[in-house]
Structures are given as structure tokens and as C-alpha cells.
Amino acid sequence: MSSLRITEIFYSLQGESNTVGIPTVFIRLTGCPLRCEYCDTAYAFTGGKKIEIAEIIVQAEQYGTKYITVTGGEPLAQPACLELITQLLDKGFIVSLETSGAIDVSAVDHRAVKVMDLKTPSSGELSKNIYQNIHFLSTKDQVKFVIGNDEDYAWSKAALAEYELLGRCEILFSPVMGEQDPTELAEKILQDRLPVRFQIQLHKLLWDNAQGK
């Protein structure tokens, strides 16, 4: 029976993506090969508890919502994550996968919604982007740019054109809390008429990024 190392399973409002505000079960896998400068889940780098996939699904079912987000850390760092996603989808859940974009996504079940980062310069992990992953995205998927400064914004705007992202999938621009003023970012998006979704992490506004929220 396959198992995964899990940091936490919790129920909260989706704080990001195009389902923001919807009650969602979060399955946070342990471990990540990246060390982004703005990471807010470093507690998931190590530790966790091995749980069989069948038990993970039982825990997820108790909350009575169809929405599940598989996150980390970097969930795809554990190969059995692919099996978890498929089993959740087979159970009728609406599954989104939050991934760094630094691991191949080609084997992810096509029914899942991929929410994939393209790491910006201020992350310190720009070199980890696997741009071939873009070819495995569809219109239901999302690419997220986490923007900490003017350089990040300029890089992100250029990437939209260079990798022909507009029209391929939905684009999310998110400010690094405490570094990029969200109003300034919103005004830049409007000034440049970018067809992207601006987002602020709802969970940080509500619960100050408390673990399990």
C-alpha cells in the first residue's frame, strides 16, 4: 500500500488561485528541493508522518467538501503524489496541485488543476524553472508569478510573451507580503493592461499565515 510523508491535513478557505474563498481540504506533503527567499512554509521541509493514501483520503472525506488542494513543500518530490491525485479524482474530488515548476509535471493526471509557479528572480531559484512544463498546461491550469520587486514584475511581464502563456492558461500575479506593495502591483497591472488575475493571499489577511490555516 502506497504512503506519503504528510506535514498536515487541514480544512480552510482557499487563499489563492481562481477558487479563492472556497472551503477546501489542504493536504500538505513534506519536503521540498527548493529554498525560495520568500517561502512561508519552511516548516514543511522536514518531519511529517508517513500515512497510507487510503487513510489520507479518509481524512479528507470527513470535511464534506469536494475541493482538495495538494500542496507542500513540493508535493511532486514524492513520486506517490501522482497516485494520491488520481485516487482523489477517482473519488469525485476537484483536485488542484500546487507545484513549484521545478519538477516534471507531464505525468500528473490530466483531470487535476495544476497551479504552477514560474520562479521570479527574487526567489533565488530562477534557475530551477523547468520551462518544458509549460507544454503540459491547459486552459484549466494556472501559472503563478510571485512578485517581490520591480525586477520580478518586469521579468514576469516578459515571460508572458516569451513563453506564450496568455491564452494557454490563467495567469496569477501575487505580491510577496511585506516586500511588494500590493496596491502598487495592482496599479502596474492596470497601467500595462495585463490580462492577469491579481491576487492577495487571503489566508494571510485572515489568519496571519498561521500553520493549519
Instruction: Return the pLDDT at 210.
Output: 66
- Write down the residue that cell numbers 513563453 correspond to: 163
Task: Classify residue 213 by burial, with Cβ atoms within 10 Å: 0-12, 13-18, 19+.
Answer: middle
Fold observed for domain 3-207 = TIM Barrel (3.20.20)
pLDDT band at residue 88 under the 50/70/90 scheme: very high
CB 40, CB 50: distance < 8 Å: no
The mean pLDDT value for 97-113 works out to 98
**Which residues lie closer than 8 Å to 197 by C-beta, 6 or more apart?**
18, 170, 171, 172, 173
The mean pLDDT value for 48-59 works out to 98
The identity of residue 92, as a single letter, is G
Instruction: Return the pLDDT at 212.
Output: 66
Instruction: Return the pLDDT at 89.
Output: 98
Cα gap 188→175, rounded to integer Å: 12
In the predicted model, is pLDDT for residue 111 greater than 80?
A: yes
The Cβ-side half-sphere exposure at 94, using a 13 Å CA radius, reads 12
The identity of residue 37, as a single letter, is E
In the predicted model, is pLDDT for residue 211 greater than 90?
A: no
With a pLDDT cut of 90, the percent of the chain lying above it is 90
**Which residues lie closer than 8 Å to 51 by C-beta, 6 or more apart?**
3, 4, 5, 6, 59
In the predicted model, is pLDDT for residue 158 greater than 80?
A: yes
Cα gap 145→114, rounded to integer Å: 14
Which candidate, 188, 39, 45, 186, places its Cα nearest to that of 117? 39
The identity of residue 145, as a single letter, is F
End-to-end CA distance of the chain: 29
Instruction: Return the pLDDT at 102.
Output: 97
Cα gap 92→105, rounded to integer Å: 21
In the predicted model, is pLDDT for residue 58 greater than 90?
A: yes
Instruction: Return the pLDDT at 1.
Output: 73
Every domain of the chain and the residues it spans:
3-207
Instruction: Return the pLDDT at 12.
Output: 94
- Provide the CA 100 distance to its chain's centre, in angstroms: 7
The mean pLDDT value for 27-50 works out to 96
Of the listed ranges 17-31, 113-127, 192-206, the one predicted with least confidence: 192-206
- Tens-digit pLDDT profile for residues 176-208: 999 999 999 999 999 999 999 999 988 777 877
Instruction: Return the pLDDT at 101.
Output: 95
3-class state of residue 49 by DSSP = strand
The identity of residue 106, as a single letter, is S
Instruction: Return the pLDDT at 213.
Output: 62
3-class state of residue 199 by DSSP = coil
24 versus 17: the higher-pLDDT residue is 24
- Tens-digit pLDDT profile for residues 128-146: 999 999 999 999 999 999 9
CB 159, CB 145: distance < 8 Å: yes
